Structure 1
Amino acid sequence: MLELAILGFLADGPLHGYQLRHRIAHLSGHARPVSDGSIYPAISRLVSAGLLDRRTEPGSSAAQRHTLSLTDAGRCELLRRLREAGGLDVSDSARYFTILAFLSQLPDIAEQHAVLRRRLEFLEQPASFFYDGDRPLGAEDTPDPYRRGMLTIARAASRAERDWLRETLA
């Protein structure tokens, strides 16, 4: 998802590496800071693959700055990843939110809606954090107040998201 976020933010226009890292950290939430040890190797892989262009510019002090921009191949790769989002990309909330952040880059609304339908199908499956055998447990099934809280919050968020998805797809 880090590479998708890099491609997605650069689809909006060129950025310096530190600007990109800052935007990704905000997208991921402050609980998931993005380290230099993960973002810069990902950028290097994308540059090596011809998906990004890196241009060196003089910095305001002695250090040079690298401006990153998306290549045509990078834009094609971004669109492919968005178009084909499925599996963990729609079942894992953090991954899905990264997909959702850039889904408007897909020019075809039918392709956007196909991704949203895959998410809705996932959300409509019975699920829980806790199970009794194969039976998912609901908030009403557990005496533990913290597990009940987790389940209550998840149920409300899922309901709100399903409502939004149905409205968007209508």
Structure 2
Amino acid sequence: MLELAILGFLADGPLHGYQLRRLIAHLSGHTRPVSDGSLYPAINRLVKGGLLDRRTEPGTSAAQRHTVSLTAEGRTELLRRLRDPDELDISDSTRYFTILAFLSRLPDTADQHAVLRRRLEFLERPASFFHDGDRPLRAEDTDDPYRRGMLLIARATSQAERSWLREQLG
């Protein structure tokens, strides 16, 4: 998802590495911080793969600054990743939100809606953090207040998201 976030933010225009790291950190939040040790190797892979272009500019002090920008191949790859996300990109909320953050980049509404439909189909499958045999447990099935809280929060979040998805899909 780091590479998708890099491609997505660079679709808006060239950025310096520290600007990119800040944007990605805001998107992913405190749960998945972005370190220089993960960002710059990802940028290097994307440059090596021809998806990004890097140029050196003079800095405000003695240090040079590196600006990265999306190539035509990078834009094509961004659209491919948005159009056809992996199943984990659909089922994992944080990964899905990264997809959602850049989904408007897909020029075809039908492609956007296909991704939204996949997420809605995932959310409509019975699921739970806890099971009694093969049966998913509901909040009403447990006396544990913390597990009940997890289940209630997950249910409310899922209901809100399903409502929003149905609204978007018309």
Q: TM-score range by the shorter chain?
A: over 0.9
Following superposition of structure 1 onto structure 2, how do residues 12-161 of structure 1 map, counting pairs within 5 Å?
Answer: 12-161=12-161
Could you tell me how far apart the structure 1 residues matched to 2:86 and 2:128 are? Answer: 20
- The two structures have a TM-score, normalised by structure 1, of 0.99
Unaligned runs of 5+ in 2: none
Q: Is the 8 A contact 1:86 1:115 kept in 2?
A: no
Unmatched runs of 5 consecutive residues or more in structure 1? none
Contact 1:56–1:65 (CA under 8 A) maintained in structure 2: yes
SS in 2 for 1:56: strand
Q: CA deviation at 1:31?
A: 3.0
Cα shift readout 1:15-36 (whole Å, capped 9, x = no counterpart): 0000000000000002321001
Residue identity (%): 82
Please state how far the C-alpha of 1:103 moved relative to its aligned partner. 0.2
Amino acid at match of 1:58: P
Work out the CA distance in 1 between the residues paired with 2:79 and 2:91: 19
Report the Cα offset of residue 99 of structure 1. Answer: 0.2
For 1:129, what is the secondary structure of its paired residue? coil
> 1:75-115 CA deviation, whole Å, 9 max, x = no partner?
00000000001411110001000000000000000000000
The letter of the residue matching 1:73 is: E
Report SS of the residue matched to 1:30.
helix
State the one-letter code of the partner of 1:85.
Answer: P
Counterpart CA distance in 2 for 1:163 and 1:82 is 22
Q: Distance in 2 between matches of 1:116 and 1:86?
A: 13
Deviation at 1:4, TM superposition (A): 0.2
Q: Secondary structure of 1:115's match? A: helix
Q: Which moved more, 1:27-36 or 1:90-99?
A: 27-36
Q: Distance in 1 between matches of 2:31 and 2:64?
A: 30
